Every structure is written in structure tokens, then in C-alpha cells.
Amino acid sequence: MNCMKLLSAEQFQQWDAYTISHEPITSNELMERAALLCTETIARDFSIEQPIKVFCAKGNNGGDGLAIARLLIGRGYKVAVYILEQGKIGSIDFQSNLHRLHSFTKEIHYLQSQDTFPIIQETDLLIDALFGTGLHTALTNLPKALVAFINLSGAKIIAIDIPSGLFVDRSSLGNTIIKACTTLSFQALKLCFLAAENAEYFGKVVILNILLQPDFLKTVETDYALLEKSQVKLLVKPRNDFSHKGKFGHALLIAGSMGKMGAAILASRAAMRSGLGMLTVSIPSETDAEIHAALPEAMVLNREVPAIDFDKFSAIGIGPGLGTDEKATAIVENVINTFQKPLLIDADAITILSKHRDWLSRISAGSILTPHPKEFDRLFGTSANEFERWQKAVKLSEEYQLIILVKGHHTLIAVKGKGWFNTTGNVGLAKAGSGDSLSGIITAFLAQEYASAVAAILGVYIHGLAADLALRYQSTESLLASDTIECIGNAFKDLEEFEV
């Protein structure tokens, strides 16, 4: 699927160079284009009375800062510029913009030690143009001290392209990093903005289109991409008016146990809302009435029946509310050993699987595992950070021929050594029952004979989109899993009506 690629730091620099050589445009003109967009954004949000301090190092990110300072001064803003001095000459574009800035202001100061750091008022607006996407090592010495000093000021901070100290494409845990309220980033979302471990640093991310040449993206390969609505829309199969329920699959959900029947009910309702033709729910016999009352459209199957004919089902989802006792463990093992089509494995079934890792190699190719980060670590080993967890999921998806989800605000879907990040959903999904709903949706797509990767992508995207649409009636605080399920139909309509 051709979605927006998530580039490495090096590839972003190559994209600039490609644009400069193919447009053609000089690097300084490209910097001016970026600075103008930043200036317009700042001017829209802050009055001309706002005192502004711009902090620059001597690379091209610093050059952006100098250009922004000049353009803001040209609009009447009171701007002071502070340049981190480390005894090196700046980049060519930095020097060019510094020369131009001298014609606009004398408020240019050099920071050679901590004694030269300026007094910052909480009412100041600070612009971080110290270090951009090319940073490869954690900040030390004077740069580290300056970033810590800026963070302690209490003033609002706008980061240009990326907060200084943050790495684009690997973990920044332990780094000293600018804590921005807003990040004005150029051209495309960076991988670092998808990591929860970085959330305290970048604030609101605004992507500014600086018109880099799009053909460059055809020349590079990436491990990760962003799901885009235009592409997801194309994955939904049109329905023939003369079809019958047998055309849309018969799924088996093995879910629920005493005290956990809510999980089975939510997964079942979500499955039936996602286009499924028929649903059978395998539950303890004493809980039949709960399913019939909550979802009369579903059939039930006594889980204690010695032999279930799995062949009559087009897909099986197992795990929500299942429990982890010996009976549940035996059921999971039996399904893994017997069912030859792709499975959806979630929740308690993943916990059981983590205690029997040798079963992984027995799972049918194309099966979908949907762990949250802690479940992922229990199953595949502890990860030091999110980036390591993502890399592990991508690698293991190829090794085991499984689709592996790592659930989160931007859920990762790992397929055959590649990863797609979801772009729908909101914090209202951080609530009990959301994962059960997702399991039902994906199981329904599997039953309708969508390819496993497509079932996972569609399931995650539509689940998140339904939650977003539910906020028309609910808040992120009040949103329930059942609210999201009731908006699955609206999510399908939203995709159908979206114009590519």
C-alpha cells in the first residue's frame, strides 16, 4: 500500500538536496521559504507586542532561526537573537542570514558561557532554532546547559522543525531536550512525533509544507509509513446488492468467562457492526443468556463441547475475557494446533501465549496478534524503548509470518518486515473494552476474506475513526467502548464519502 513514508534524519537531508537540485532552488532560498511559513504561523498566533527571543546554534536550523528573526522584525516584532558560540564558523546559509540580520537589528548576542545566558521573563516567547534533524549525539556541556536553562524559564517555547536534543528516528531517552509548546515542523511528520516517550517535548505539531519535491519519495525505501485516508478508503470492498449473509463470512469468537462477559459482548457487537454475515460466540454454558440478551443476532456455542468443528468458520478470534486458567490454556493450544486459517489473538490468549512461546511457530501464517506494549514485552522480551519495540515487531512479523500490532495512540501494524502507523483515534480509547472492540472488528474483516494485512489495517483505522466520530456526542473523558462501536457505521460512511 502506497502511504506516506516516514523518513530517517539522513533521508530528510537528502530530500532538501534533491529539491535544491531538481527545482532548481538555492539552499538559502529554501530556508527563506521555510522561515516565511514559520513567521506567518507565529504572527497569526502572537500579537506584535509579544517579546520574542530566538536561540540559534550555527547550523542550518540556526539559519532558519536567523531568517525567522529577520522576518519577524520586518513585521514590527521586538526580537532578540542569542547565538550559541562554540568557537566554530557557522554553515554557509547561517553566515548569509547572520549578515542580513545585522542590517535589521543590533540585538544579536553570543552565548559563550552560562554567565552570558539572558534573563528570560515568563511572558517571553522563545524560539528554539538550536539543533535540527541532523543531531546524532545527545547534548553535552554548554548546549545541554542552555536547553536546561530555557526549559526552566517557564516561557512558551516554539521549536523549529524538531525540539533541540530530540533524535528523528531513534530513542532519545535520557537526553536533555527542549520542551516545546508547539513544534513547527517542515514538510512531513517525523517518526519521533509518534512515540509516547517523546510526548512531553514536542507539544502541538504543525506541519508546514515547504514544497519539497514529491518525486524524491519514489527514490527511497523506509521501514515505516503513515496510514492515509485516501489509501485506506480503497481497501474497503464494495458490496453487491444481491449478496446474502453467507457471502460475508461466519466468524467464531472464543471469548468471555465468569466475570468477564463484557469483553465477549463488546467484541461480538463490534464484529457484527463491521460487516460480518454470521457470528458464533464460544462461551461457558452458564453465560448463554448474557449474549442472547446483549446481541440477539449472534449464536452461541458451549465451550465445554469436546470437539468443535473449526472448519465451518471463516475466521476465529480468541482472547477477550477468556481467562488464563488451565481450561483457557488448553483451548488456546487446541485452536493454534487445529485452525489452519489466520487467527486473531488478543488479550488473555496473548498472556497464555507468552507462557508458551514455542507455540508461536505453530500459529497459522497471516494470523494477527494485538498486544499492548506490556503484553508485547511479555511475549517477545523486554524492550528498552518504543523504537526498539517497533523494530522488534517489524522484524518478528517477517520471521514468524504474522501481523503484529503494537497498540498505542499511533498503533503500529507490522507486516512482512514493514510497519504502518495509524492516524485515527484519540485518548478516549484509553479505557477498558477498547481492545475487545478492536478484536471484534478485525475478526469480522478476516471472516469476510480480507487479506490479513488489510484486515488489520482496516480494523485499526476504522476503530480509531469511529472513536473520533463519537466525539461529536461524547468527550474523551466520557467516551465508552460501546460509544465507539455505535459509530462504526459512521466510520464506514465517512470513508465512503471521502473524496480522493
Residue 306 confidence (pLDDT): 66
Angle between helices 434-447 and 261-272 (to 10 degrees): 40
Tell me: pLDDT of 2 over 70. no
Residue 240 confidence (pLDDT): 83
Q: What is the mean pLDDT of residues 125-154?
A: 96
Both 259 and 318 in a single domain?
A: yes
How far, in Å, CA of 497 to CA of 500, rounded?
A: 9
Both 354 and 405 in a single domain?
A: yes
Last residue of a domain, one of 193, 222, 251: 222
Q: What is the mean pLDDT of residues 144-150?
A: 98
Residue 275 confidence (pLDDT): 95
Last residue of a domain, one of 222, 253, 272: 222
Both 419 and 486 in a single domain?
A: yes
Query: What CATH code is carried by the domain that includes residue 65?
Result: 3.40.50.10260
Q: Could you report the per-residue pLDDT of 406-440, keeping only the tens digit for each?
A: 999 999 999 999 999 999 999 999 999 999 999 99
Both 64 and 99 in a single domain?
A: yes
Q: What is the mean pLDDT of residues 54-83?
A: 98
Q: Could you report the per-residue pLDDT of 330-351, keeping only the tens digit for each?
A: 999 999 999 999 999 999 999 9
Mean pLDDT score across all residues of the chain = 95
Residue 123: C-alpha distances to residues 82, 152, 200, 319 (Å): 17, 13, 21, 53
- Provide the domain count of the chain: 2
Q: Could you report the per-residue pLDDT of 356-407, keeping only the tens digit for each?
A: 999 999 999 999 999 999 999 999 999 999 999 999 999 999 999 999 999 9
Both 216 and 329 in a single domain?
A: no
pTM: 0.95
Both 160 and 278 in a single domain?
A: no
How far, in Å, CA of 383 to CA of 345, rounded?
A: 21
Tell me: pLDDT of 215 over 70. yes
Sheet holding 204-208, edge to edge: 108-111, 79-84, 52-56, 125-129, 156-160, 182-186, 204-208
Tell me: pLDDT of 499 over 70. yes
How would you classify the pairing of strands 278-283 and 79-84?
Answer: unpaired
Query: In this prediction, what percent of the chain has a pLDDT beyond 90?
Result: 90
How would you classify the pairing of strands 224-226 and 204-208?
Answer: unpaired
Both 169 and 271 in a single domain?
A: no
Tell me: pLDDT of 452 over 80. yes
Both 212 and 254 in a single domain?
A: no
Q: Could you report the per-residue pLDDT of 89-132, keeping only the tens digit for each?
A: 999 999 999 999 999 999 999 999 999 999 999 999 999 999 99
Residue 32 confidence (pLDDT): 97
Last residue of a domain, one of 222, 248, 269: 222
Both 190 and 254 in a single domain?
A: no
**Domain for residue 19, yes or no?**
no
Q: Give the DSSP letter of residue 269.
A: H
Both 322 and 216 in a single domain?
A: no
Tell me: pLDDT of 87 over 90. no
Q: What is the mean pLDDT of residues 255-260?
A: 91
How far, in Å, CA of 284 to CA of 329, rounded?
A: 15
Both 238 and 285 in a single domain?
A: yes
Q: Give me the domain span that covers residue 445.
A: 229-497
Tell me: pLDDT of 229 over 70. yes
**Domain for residue 18, yes or no?**
no
**Domain for residue 275, yes or no?**
yes
How far, in Å, CA of 226 to CA of 205, rounded?
A: 15
Q: What is the mean pLDDT of residues 49-58?
A: 97
Residue 418 confidence (pLDDT): 97
Residue 174 confidence (pLDDT): 96
Both 318 and 464 in a single domain?
A: yes
